[in-house]
A and B are shown apart, each in its own frame.
Chain A
Amino acid sequence: MMDRRHLLKLMALTGSLVIPVGRQAWAAVGDDSAATRRKLVVVMLRGAVDGLNVVAPYGDANYARLRPTIGLARPGQDGGALDLDGYFGLHPALASLQPLWEQKKLAFIHASGSPDATRSHFDAQDYLESGTPGRKSTQDGWLNRLLTVLPGAASPTRAISIGPLMPRILAGRAPATNLAAGAAGTKQSILDRPQIGSAFDQMYQGSDKFASAYQDGRDAHKEVMTASMQDEMQAANGGAPLPNGFPNDAAHLAKLMRNDPKIQIAFVALGGWDTHAYQGNGKGLLANRLMPLGQGLATLAQGLGPMFDDTTIVVMSEFGRTARQNGNGGTDHGHGNVMWVLGGGVAGGKVYGDWQGLGEAQLHEGRDLPVTTDFRSVLAQVSERHLRLSDQQLAQVFPAMPAASPGLNFLRS
């Protein structure tokens, strides 16, 4: 029998003495990452994307009638839609998403949106972010409320947003962080210099108003720096940098999420969808916006690697646009739109929602898609089935929500 002293000596020599310590550390991280294992990424298209040209009902004869010059050509034709199910077709600029559709990891919910009738961008975005359509007094955003009910420890990097401003959707009492788009988000900060950091730490500790924002910024910066440094070591085998804009940010986001298990929620807002004139069909203004969006989403899915299995990505916009093109080859403000969901748990390869067609009698106010699926039903399903919220927790995130639409089962399990 080996004596105790000998055993200790042996462990020290082989380095295995670190095991118990390492184990504890691993266990702690393990708990944390179990709580934050299931990820949610929300992409918001500000300005009301024309959902009827994202997922085009080319199978409805009215589609071509309503959109003589901006309608997508039928699948197979030049600049034509990419067929999804024999009735709906995907905008050709989104070809990079076709593999995900085929792998059944991408689904759409058509004619979805807010029950509130406003056609104001700013009110509609506000409601989409507060999660309380029609109610302006809500102070916080639903992603922030979600953070307050998710199990596990709060941390400033549990939810991150890419962009210079903290979005309305993340406003509230749970900490969250916004990072600059592009490389600037993970650059060294002047506060990393010890003397300067300490000077400003002293000054902000005493500030009633700004102490917590300052401290969150400091903590998040340290964490994100660590995550991106790890990334630099791994980047040697990583892919080449992508063109600017969203694909780049998406690649960046994927790496941060891979390297920092604490990041669970991410939000990105992209603008430029308010196409009142010359939006084009298979090519043109809208196509030029959709192309990097599709590439970015594909990059994100790919960059997350196995983590994509535990991730749901939701793409949404404040409202849809008129079914009929206007005189300027564009579309005006409408109502129902299409929501996109991507992820390992998505029962994809299908267009969901209660689709009623584009006949004059089916159009809402004779001009746009009616909303047949409340956007909150979509978000609720993600919260319940993917993030495992209880009914009670769900009611905190989406108060006063109507009963979910039966038959809307776009998530497996």
Chain B
Amino acid sequence: MKLPIRFAMLALFSISSLAATAAPLSSDQQALHVLDRLGYGPRPGDIDMVRQMGVERYIDSQLHPESIPLPAALSARLSTLDASNASAGEVLAEFLAVRKVANDGDEAAKEKRREVVGKIVEQNAEARIARAIDSPRQLEEVMVDFWFNHFNVYAGKGLDRALVGSYERDAIRPYVLGNFRDLLGATAKHPAMLFYLDNWLSTANDFQPGQGRRGAAQGQKAKATGLNENYARELMELHTLGVDGGYSQKDVTELARMLTGWSFEPRELVRNNRTFRFDAQRHDMGDKEWLGHHVAAQGQGEGEFALDVLAMHPATARHLSYQLAQYFVQDNPPPQLVERMAKRYLETKGNIREVLRVMFHSPEFLAAGTVGAKFKTPYQYVISAARAGHMPITNVRPLLGAMNQLGMPLYGAQTPDGYKNTEAAWLNPDALTRRITFATALAAGRLPLNKPAGQDGNAAAAPVAAEPPLDADSLLNTLGPAISAKTRATISNNPAALRAAMVLGSPDFMQR
């Protein structure tokens, strides 16, 4: 008696799950889906382009961004951003110079500081946003956002205002589809991270600072004498193993000891662009017991060993796979998919591209239930609206302002866990009203996006540049199946002047 019932239940189960997932996606829906997930949504003509190319080929080309040329206009624009192209040392030099002068108080110096710091901040933002909107290497841009956030540093903390541009360009961008150990090592040694999580100050507990030896020039660091656990903890909790990765307080302290001496010196960074320095004198030379390993003293090698172990740990494979699947597939990603990704991660020794390949080619990724299942973060919402609208943008400030308003300022996540990407984090009553406000201003051409850069020192007082309003029909064309028939019907029942705003402010456009 028992068996048939179970069999019947099983059959019922598979029928209902089939009904939920088996409706095959049309080629337009598939094209839209990969544009929404591997990138920041379609620009005009993108859905056709992907459909003609084939979804598989599109995914493969995105996994190899070096095979996709950057448009000349984008390259030219990026090349003019001298502050964002300068070395970490050059930018820091400029930043420290105005900071020092401005502390002495005179108004002109303060103005100069605002100008210099403003230029640094704006160019970093412009480089990021111009690429996100215009780069055909969309997956690369999405992965920059993902990994920057995973290894978040907060631009509002001291020197990081000046270092964050180099951090993204030098420690994140080159590795986003490469080997995780390389990415981990690059972030661990970048001054932005060393500064943000205080490791540059951490020393052996018995360290005695040298008597006056360049002491004054090193500022804060010269006085530092003791262990700081901040980075070691977040390295395990956030960057690699995950909070349930099976380590103890003792492991945190031991790892912090292993990483003592991983530092940088602002003066050397300014002079020679030397971004990392292992300072053997600050290093704790005792033996350590960490994560079940006995670690004999060997200087910088201890930290390198720790990164090797952490990068290849099964807990790291699971943690990273979960985070990737949550970002690209579902807020609660299917456990089997996460397992397969983690397995691939370990097989390929942490090859990010191969893990993504498994994910993008999985049935879970292309399931009908996955389409539209992610609520856009404010960043994704703003960038996708700019892409769909396809208006010329020379001034990114209004977009930055929108991200602030929506609770996700660029480079503005204060805590090392970065921003969440789930619906629970971002969907709230206030958020919808604010997104609609942004959509309405954008659609009406009321945002001064077309102003020559640098001419709007005071955005509030400056006259608003007239821009043509967006055309609702073009938007609907561009977005294809993203906007449902029901929503289209409601839009067409409303005055023509409101329709473009209604497209970008619709429930359909809130999700991807």
Contacts and interface: CB of A to CB of B under 8 A. Distances in A.
B218 interface: no
A199 B495 CA distance: 9
Residue from A119, A178, A276 having most chain B Cβ neighbours under 10 A: A276
A346 to B, nearest CB: 31
Contact of B228 (A122, A166, A178, A326): A326
B432 A327 contact: no
A218 B436 CA distance: 12
Interface residues of A, number: 54
Interface string B480-506: 000000110011011100100110011
A207 B224 contact: no
B428 interface: yes
A164 B249 contact: no
A179 interface: yes
Contact of A217 (B430, B486, B491): B430
A86 B441 CA distance: 60
Nearest to B503: A203
Given A203-B487, A326-B229, A328-B201, A278 B220 contact: yes
A234 interface: no
Contacts of B203: 327
B507 A204 contact: yes
B510 interface: yes
A165 B378 CA distance: 11
Contact of A164 (B201, B430, B487): B430
A217 B228 contact: no
B394 interface: no
Interface string B140-161: 0000000000000000000000
A377 to B, nearest CB: 25
Given A195-B498, A213-B428, A327 B433 contact: no
Interface string A38-66: 00000000110000000000000000000
A196 B440 contact: yes
A332 B433 contact: no
Contact of A276 (B198, B495, B502): B198
B507 A207 contact: yes
A326 B226 contact: yes
A119 B229 CA distance: 11
B487 to A, nearest CB: 6
A34 interface: no
Residue from A179, A196, A220 having most chain B Cβ neighbours under 10 A: A196
Interface in A162-192: 163-166, 171, 177-180, 184, 189-191
Interface in B383-429: 405-407, 414-415, 417, 424-429
Contacts of A191: 433, 436
Contacts of B431: 164-165, 213
A221 interface: yes
A326 B227 contact: yes
B503 to A, nearest CB: 10
A295 B491 CA distance: 49
Interface in B429-480: 429-434, 436-437, 440-441
A156 B507 contact: no
B237 A120 contact: yes
5 contacts: A180-B405, A203-B505, A210-B507, A272-B414, A276-B197
The 8 closest A-B pairs by CB, nearest first: A327-B226, A164-B407, A217-B429, A166-B428, A207-B507, A276-B230, A216-B429, A328-B201
